[in-house]
Amino acid sequence: MSADLPEPEAPPKEAANFSGVVKRFDKRTRAHENGMSMGWVKRTYADAVEYTRTGTGARGLAFFWVCVSALMLGAFCVYGLITAAEFDVWFGYVGIVVLLGMMFVSVVVIPLWGIRLELFAPEDLPVIFDRKHRKVYRITRYTQSGLKGLFKPWPTVALEYDWDLVDAELHVQTAVGPNVAKRQHSLWFVVRRSAEDDTPIDAFTLGNSLVFNEGLASAFYEHIRRFMEEGGQHVVRGEPLAVVGRPETMWEGVKQAAHYKGGGFRQWFRDGSLIPWMVILLFPVFGPMIFLSGIGNYLAYKTSMPVQWPREVLDAVGEPLAGQA
In the chain, % helix, strand, coil (3-state, to 5) comes to 40, 20, 40
pLDDT at 223 over 80: yes
Among 139, 154, 67, 47, smallest CA distance to 107 is for 67
- Tallying the residues shown for the chain, one arrives at 325
Give alpha helix (H) positions in 84-213.
89-104, 110-118
Query: Hey, what amino acid is at 81?
Result: L
pLDDT(24) > 70: yes
More confident residue, 226 or 61: 226
Across all residues in the chain, what is the average pLDDT?
78
According to the model, what pLDDT value does residue 1 have?
A: 45
pLDDT in the model for residue 156:
87
- Contact of 234 with 204, CB cutoff 8 Å: no
In this prediction, residue 14 carries a pLDDT of 46
Most confident of 60-74, 92-106, 126-140, 309-323: 126-140
Does residue 13 have a pLDDT over 50? no
Give the pLDDT mean for 136-146.
80
- Is 304:121 a contact under the CB 8 Å cutoff? yes
Can you tell me the distance from the alpha carbon of 29 to that of 202, in angstroms, rounded to the nearest whole number? 24
The pLDDT tens digits of the residues spanning 168-202 come to: 999 887 765 555 556 788 899 999 999 899 899 99
Highest mean pLDDT among 1-15, 174-188, 227-241: 227-241
Residue 138 predicted with pLDDT over 60: yes
pLDDT of residue 269: 64
What confidence tens digit (pLDDT) does each residue in 35-94 have?
Answer: 888 889 999 999 999 999 876 556 767 777 777 777 777 777 777 767 765 655 445 567
CB distance 9 to 157 below 8 Å = no
Report how far apart, in Å, the C-alpha atoms of 69 and of each of 81, 175, 288 are: 18, 21, 14
Q: How confident is the model at residue 8 (pLDDT cuts 50, 70, 90)?
A: very low
Residue-level pLDDT at 118: 75
Q: Are 186 and 171 in contact (CB under 8 A)?
A: yes
The fraction of the chain above a pLDDT of 90, given in percent, is 27
Helix axes of 110-118 and 283-303: crossing angle, nearest 10 degrees: 60
Task: Give residue 259's pLDDT.
Answer: 67
Between CA 155 and CA 321 the distance in angstroms is 29
Query: Across the beta sheet with 41-44, what order do the strands follow?
Result: 41-44, 48-51, 127-130, 135-141, 156-162
pLDDT at 131: 95
What pLDDT, on the 0 to 100 scale, is given for residue 302? Answer: 83
- Opening angle at CA 305, ends 303 and 137, nearest 5: 145
Q: Is the CB of residue 44 less than 8 Å from the CB of residue 234?
A: yes
In this prediction, residue 87 carries a pLDDT of: 58
Per-residue model confidence (pLDDT) at position 15: 42
Question: Measuring CA to CA, how many Å separate 154 from each of 195, 250, 297?
Answer: 32, 23, 17
Question: Which range is most confident: 55-59, 148-152, 154-158, 265-269?
Answer: 154-158
Taking alpha carbons only, the member of 187, 118, 158 closest to residue 12 is 158
φ, ψ of residue 33 in degrees (nearest 5): -65, -35
pLDDT reported for residue 309: 92
pLDDT value of position 242: 79
Kindly indicate the confidence band of residue 22, based on its pLDDT and cuts at 50, 70 and 90. confident
| Strand, helix or coil for residue 305 | strand
The amino acid present at 3, given as its one-letter code, is: A
Give the E-state strand segments of the chain in sequence order: 21-24, 41-44, 48-51, 127-130, 135-141, 156-162, 166-176, 181-192, 200-206
Do 249 and 256 meet the contact criterion of CB atoms below 8 Å apart?
Answer: no
Q: What percent of the chain has pLDDT over 70?
A: 73
